[in-house]
Amino acid sequence: MYRFNSNEITVKRSIKYVEPDSTGIYAQGAKYWVKVTDDKEEPGRGCIHCATCVEACTHNLKNPDSETGVFDMETVYYDEKGNRVQPDNDSINFIEKILWINPDECCNCKRCVKMCPQRAIKVTDNPDYNDMGVNLSNAEIINNCLSRADGKSTVSSAHLGKFSSKLSEDWLIDAAEILSPQRDHLHEYAGRMDNMYLGKRQARFHCKTPIFDVHMSYGSNSHEAFLSRIMASIKLGRPFFTGEGYIHPDMMPAAKHCILQFGSGGYGPWVELDKFAGISMKYGQDAKKGKGGRLQAKKNDIEIALLRCVEALRNLTAPNPQHLQYSIEELPMRVESLRALLGEDKLIGADVYGTAWNFQEIVVALAKAGFDYITVKAGDGSTGAAHLVDMQNRGLNVVYLTHIADLALRKEGLREQISVIAEGGVLDSFHAFLVLLAGADFVGMGMRTLHPLGCTLCRRCHTGQCAWGITSRPYGTRIDPGMGSERIVKMVESFVEDMEGLAAGLGMSSHTDVVGARRFRYHGSDPLLYETFGRGEADKQVEEVAIKERYHKIFKTKEELRIQFKDFFKESLENIEDNTITIDVGVDQVDSRSLNVLMKDATERGVKKFVLENVVGQRIIGTGVKADEITVKGLVGNHSFAFVRNVKINVVPTSVDGFKVPGNTQVGVANTSNPHEINIAGHVSDLFAAYAVSGTFRVAKSGGVRNLLLMKAGIPEEWNKIDLTKYENYSDEKIIEDLLLNYQERKARLRKMGWNKFIRSQEDKINDRKPPVAVFGVGIERGMGDYFMEYAQGGIGIVLNVVNKDNPIGYYICSGMTAGAAYIRGNVSDSQLGVGVKKIEYLTDSDKTMLKKEIEDFLDKFLNINIDEAYDSKLREFADRYKSEPRIVLDEFCKIIPVSSGIRISRISE
């Protein structure tokens, strides 16, 4: 083998550009031009072919499986005559290093520019791309049309507005008045913004800054970016908003600082919820400008799938609306359910986007429903993935939205009962201060938080190719969480110091003085903002309203309820025998929330099994109650059994004063649940077992609309072992220490294994999960409702059709399903199927083995219960036929599965 000798080998360096794929109008070329200087052009500063840029760049949309992006380095070997030879040839005389550049892939993230040790790289706008057309139909319009004509994606991310921010110009803050002269915040107690509370009732979170981070999920962010943001929030003394997708097990020490987001996707294992600071409900898709959210398959790796309890490498879609509340009237029931789950001292918030024409009415309804805070999402907010047309044309200015929300709450006398957070396009400290003056208690900054981590707004978040490692998980190790969190802290502290100076300049002493003061004026060209903030006197911006104190029943404390139903509680708790209690609800002897409190009091006395008699519509039964078994005799009300975990539940019919009360359930029952099993000896209504994570669900009769909505793929075993009790008394310093220790252990494994092996090492956890199974018998009165298993992301739904209906189910079956399967016995036409699924008439042996077990368990559960005479007769007929002709019965099922929503794992350089 030839041994290289530095005296013999001449190194030649070249810089070449990749030839365009084609010519003609669709050879759009690069939006940005990448220029690398060689040593002849700039002696001493030219490219030295170190390949740092090759390692730095991760962007390649045309060939995402490639191990290189804009840059690639080729090494060519020559003999003494200049002929190319193989690298192991003995006759090598010199080598040539060629840096290949493909500017068509450049997104101007500037990673290569910042990392180049020679500063030899320049990225600029490409005139050939950006200079064409006329003022009206300019290059942006023309290239947009060409991209669409060529079938390119219209999905983008990290939006900051179609136009320049309306916060950056045409606003002026008033000068101080003579009665409140300017003060010096550096030497006086003035303008202080370091002591405030999120929440104005019993549920409160003490905050040391008015600037919050915003909801960005684990998955949209890399592990390191997410961890940096958590630690920064702890250091700054503010809550951390997790985004939709829960938090990683390694980050659970910080749970008491975290507010989980329950979005319309309902992702997560939903365990240990009372250990978190609270839950935000996502009403309307905020960052998506009214559209349902998405996480593309390439970003849904095994670790994300475990965290979100879904199947890996599938597109994750969340529906547009929040289905757990169909109307304003149902909001209080959802809050009631969450309050029963979390307790009295945890925050419950609502995230609402400012696209609706009746925004004021929505804000008032949320406040009346009993939420502790409202987050106003404005039009210039960013997103992890959405269509450009939605991002650029939805939503209103954050100052305007904050103003009208504040006024609407004041008019109803609700402003002193609820906190307001406003976010969306807030770029700096002046903007943040302006939003507080308009009426917000706190202001959210999302993209600003990512800039200290490296974000240059290249708008490639949705591709998973972020070169800085912020939104690309394989490259997350490019971020040092300890250093990143410190830089976020310094930035926010600097912004707050600016705001304190502005407040002191207005003669204000504290945060309270600033909120809603409206000491500003708009003098720009926007007619809406000018009409609202520019005309007339400033004091007329706020109408005089009478402050009315409203006391919602949701705010009644446990102690108040115990006093109100003192005798009932005392009599009921005397019925404890061993670990079992029988509670006679007596139809209307106790309300829903009081029954829930009574059950929790019983568990504190060692009760593990409950028998509830004469129940007629009581809600939230079992929610937040840690029990082994619950038996309900009668009609179960809305949102009962929500979030239950590791419990067996039976609902059976009963008789009250000679009247038969069926064992039915109302809306939203067993949503987001992890039971051992739930058996309903009757009908269920809409949204039964929506977002169900694991367990077995059996319904003797039929279901309503959207049963098994967003059904998940099972809870990983590691979540069943988690216990957060030890972290409850941890200091902030100890929490950060544990977070960093957990990360160092993770980083060591990553360094040893490489990204792909690290991710694949968790495949066993995926395979060990037990997906939820739901079996419906179908009743004589009606069949199954529409949207069965809509957006399902795992799990199995079975419709036995024991009464032999010709068509046992409605329309839009499994629409949007990305994983899982439905088995339906009876006629199902193609017109009944939802989008993205197909019907299979043939079942495999494993399908039949699974169905046999589920059918036999179903019959064993319901054959000996007197549900009603007609149904019992049909069920016995079905059982007899199945016993005598099992193969024929199984052949009457069809199977519905997703068409395709998976991808193969991309190659990542290790």
* Amino acid 537: pLDDT: 57
Q: Which residues contact 346 (CB under 8 A, 6 or more apart)?
A: 203, 274, 276, 277, 278, 279
Tokens at 677, concatenated: 């099993």
* Amino acid 903: pLDDT: 43
When pLDDT is averaged across residues 513-531 and rounded to a whole number, the result is: 90
Amino acid of residue 746: R
When pLDDT is averaged across residues 754-776 and rounded to a whole number, the result is: 94
Percent of the chain surpassing pLDDT 90: 67
- Say whether both 300 and 368 belong to one domain: yes
- Say whether both 387 and 286 belong to one domain: yes
> Could you tell me the pLDDT band of residue 184, with boundaries at 50, 70 and 90?
confident
* Amino acid 645: pLDDT: 94
- Say whether both 389 and 446 belong to one domain: yes
- Say whether both 195 and 337 belong to one domain: yes
**CA atoms within 13 A of residue 311's CA, in its CB half-sphere:** 24
When pLDDT is averaged across residues 502-520 and rounded to a whole number, the result is: 92
Q: Among the three residues 517, 541, 565, which one is the final residue of a domain in this structure?
A: 541
- Say whether both 91 and 191 belong to one domain: no
Helix then strand count (H, E) for the chain reads: 25, 36
Q: Return the CATH number at 93.
A: 3.30.70
Checking if the pLDDT of 657 tops 70, the result is yes
Residue for token pair 């940096």: 228
Checking if the pLDDT of 904 tops 80, the result is no
Checking if the pLDDT of 337 tops 60, the result is yes
- Asked if 359 and 403 touch (Cβ cutoff 8 Å), the reply is no
3-state secondary structure of 430: helix
Checking if the pLDDT of 102 tops 50, the result is yes
* Amino acid 3: pLDDT: 47
In which element (H, E) is residue 759 found?
Answer: helix 755-760
> Could you tell me the pLDDT band of residue 902, with boundaries at 50, 70 and 90?
very low
Checking if the pLDDT of 549 tops 60, the result is no
> Could you tell me the pLDDT band of residue 169, with boundaries at 50, 70 and 90?
confident
* Closest-CA residue to 616 (of 599, 636, 645): 636
* Amino acid 594: pLDDT: 94
**857: number of Cβ within 10 Å:** 16
> For the CA atoms of the chain, what is the radius of gyration?
31
- Say whether both 393 and 497 belong to one domain: yes
* Amino acid 2: pLDDT: 41
Checking if the pLDDT of 83 tops 70, the result is yes
630 or 90, higher pLDDT:
630
Checking if the pLDDT of 178 tops 80, the result is no
Residue 782 resides in a domain: yes
Q: Return the CATH number at 488.
A: 3.20.20.70
When pLDDT is averaged across residues 127-131 and rounded to a whole number, the result is: 90
Q: Among the three residues 100, 131, 162, which one is the final residue of a domain in this structure?
A: 131
Residue 49 resides in a domain: yes
Q: Can you tell me the distance from the alpha carbon of 791 to that of 314, in angstroms, rounded to the nearest whole number? A: 12
Q: Which residues contact 741 (CB under 8 A, 6 or more apart)?
A: none
- Asked if 445 and 213 touch (Cβ cutoff 8 Å), the reply is yes
Checking if the pLDDT of 539 tops 60, the result is no
Tokens at 398, concatenated: 């954050």
Please give, one letter per residue, the 3-state secondary structure of 862-908: HCCCCCCHHHHHHHHHHHHHHHHCHHHHHHCEEEEEECCCECCCCCC
3-state secondary structure of 264: coil
3-state secondary structure of 436: helix
* Amino acid 288: pLDDT: 55
Amino acid of residue 406: D
* Amino acid 536: pLDDT: 63
Q: Is 53 left (phi over 0), alpha (psi -120 to 50) or beta?
A: alpha
Q: Can you tell me the distance from the alpha carbon of 40 to that of 120, in angstroms, rounded to the nearest whole number? A: 12
Which stretches within 425-538 are classed as H helix?
429-438, 447-450, 481-505, 511-514, 527-533
When pLDDT is averaged across residues 682-701 and rounded to a whole number, the result is: 97
> Could you tell me the pLDDT band of residue 905, with boundaries at 50, 70 and 90?
very low
Range of the domain at 450: 171-541
* Amino acid 1: pLDDT: 39
Checking if the pLDDT of 282 tops 80, the result is yes
Task: Dihedral sign for Cα 414, 415, 418, 424, please.
Answer: positive
- Asked if 73 and 102 touch (Cβ cutoff 8 Å), the reply is no
pTM: 0.93
Q: Which residues contact 879 (CB under 8 A, 6 or more apart)?
A: 859, 863
- Say whether both 181 and 124 belong to one domain: no
Checking if the pLDDT of 907 tops 70, the result is no
Amino acid of residue 176: A
Residue 657 resides in a domain: no
Residue 727 resides in a domain: no
When pLDDT is averaged across residues 635-642 and rounded to a whole number, the result is: 96
Tens of pLDDT, residue by residue over 318-333, are: 787 788 877 777 888 8
Cα 671 off chain centre by: 17
- Asked if 503 and 424 touch (Cβ cutoff 8 Å), the reply is no
* Amino acid 908: pLDDT: 35
Checking if the pLDDT of 56 tops 90, the result is yes
- Say whether both 126 and 178 belong to one domain: no
What backbone torsions phi and psi does residue 81 show, to the nearest 5 degrees?
-90, 0
Q: Can you tell me the distance from the alpha carbon of 893 to that of 448, in angstroms, rounded to the nearest whole number? A: 54
Q: Can you tell me the distance from the alpha carbon of 52 to that of 55, in angstroms, rounded to the nearest whole number? A: 5
In which element (H, E) is residue 212 found?
Answer: strand 211-212
* Amino acid 544: pLDDT: 62
Q: Which residues contact 354 (CB under 8 A, 6 or more apart)?
A: 376, 377, 378, 379, 395, 396, 401, 424
Window from 279-293, 435-449, 626-640 with minimum mean pLDDT: 279-293
What one-character DSSP code corresponds to residue 729?
T
* Amino acid 552: pLDDT: 66
3-state secondary structure of 618: coil
Give the chain's domain count. 3
* Amino acid 285: pLDDT: 55
When pLDDT is averaged across residues 331-337 and rounded to a whole number, the result is: 89
434 or 80, higher pLDDT:
434
Residue 516 resides in a domain: yes
Torsion, Cα of 670, 673, 676, 682 (10° steps): 10
What backbone torsions phi and psi does residue 362 show, to the nearest 5 degrees?
-65, -45
> Could you tell me the pLDDT band of residue 746, with boundaries at 50, 70 and 90?
very high
- Say whether both 318 and 390 belong to one domain: yes
3-state secondary structure of 806: coil
Q: DSSP characters for 487-507? A: HHHHHHHHHHHHHHHHHHHTT
* Amino acid 799: pLDDT: 98
Residue 878 resides in a domain: yes
Q: Can you tell me the distance from the alpha carbon of 232 to that of 209, in angstroms, rounded to the nearest whole number? A: 12
* Amino acid 548: pLDDT: 60
Checking if the pLDDT of 651 tops 70, the result is yes
* Closest-CA residue to 339 (of 550, 551, 553): 553
- Say whether both 126 and 206 belong to one domain: no
Checking if the pLDDT of 540 tops 60, the result is no
User: In Å, how far are 206, 417, 827 from 512, measured between CA atoms?
Assistant: 14, 14, 64
- Say whether both 124 and 178 belong to one domain: no
**Which of 36-45, 547-556, 795-804 shows the highest mean pLDDT?**
795-804
- Asked if 220 and 263 touch (Cβ cutoff 8 Å), the reply is no
- Say whether both 356 and 211 belong to one domain: yes
Checking if the pLDDT of 280 tops 90, the result is yes
Amino acid of residue 664: N
Residue 631 resides in a domain: no
Residue 577 resides in a domain: no
Q: Return the CATH number at 860.
A: 2.160.20.60
pLDDT mean across residues, the chain: 90
* Closest-CA residue to 51 (of 120, 123, 125, 126): 120
**23: number of Cβ within 10 Å:** 7
Tens of pLDDT, residue by residue over 561-598, are: 899 899 999 999 999 999 999 999 999 899 999 999 99
Tens of pLDDT, residue by residue over 858-875, are: 999 999 999 999 999 999
Q: Among the three residues 514, 541, 568, which one is the final residue of a domain in this structure?
A: 541
